[in-house]
Amino acid sequence: MDRTDEGRRPLDVMCTDIVDRYHAALHRSLPQIRAWLTAFAREAASPAAREMCEVFAELAEQIHSHLAKEEHLVFPALSALPGADTPPFLRPPTTFATVLHPIRVLEAEHVRIEQTLGRLHELALAITAPDSLSVPFRRCMTELAEFDRHLREHHRIENEVLFPRALELERQVL
């Protein structure tokens, strides 16, 4: 998403764009990285390798649960808001009386997900040679770096653009 455009898009278009661009990439990369980490840990001697697999499984569970909430509950509610901004100014019924509380829950989950990612990076630093020099470990680290960058960009767009715009729009129509 172009940074100059991201704040001007209708909410339903933004939600669809986030799901297509960021959620779809997570649905693809989570099982792939998990499989690579498992293959690496099977051959590695470092105790931190097995712990990395466990923490990544925890991370995948947190992210899957978070994406399901966004895709099935919160994004449909946010997408319904723009309809309330045009004649006849009727807000379609949604699951939530206000989107404020679900948004606060999602923001807290972003923090927890990034904390789990931080634990994963700490464990990666504890991997010792020769495991740390192996091709499977280097591949996992390259993929995790890209995964980290993409996830933080995804969270930033939701926290700093999508959620504030939804709350502002809701204030106008409630």
Per CB under 5 A, residues contacting Fe ion are: 70, 158
Report the residue number, 53 or 80, with the smaller CB distance to Fe ion. 80
Q: How far is the CB of 19 from Fe ion (least distance, A)?
A: 7
Q: Residue 102: is the preceding peptide bond cis (ω within 30°)?
A: no
Residue 43, amino acid: E
Minimal CA–CA distance to 15: which of 153, 171, 170, 162?
A: 162
- DSSP H helices in the chain: 11-18, 24-43, 47-69, 75-80, 100-125, 135-157, 163-173
Is residue 6 within 8 Å of residue 163, measured between CB atoms? no
Q: How far is the CB of 57 from Fe ion (least distance, A)?
A: 19
Report the residue number, 70 or 170, with the smaller CB distance to Fe ion. 70
Q: How far is the CB of 12 from Fe ion (least distance, A)?
A: 15
Q: How far is the CB of 60 from Fe ion (least distance, A)?
A: 15
Report the residue number, 65 or 98, with the smaller CB distance to Fe ion. 65
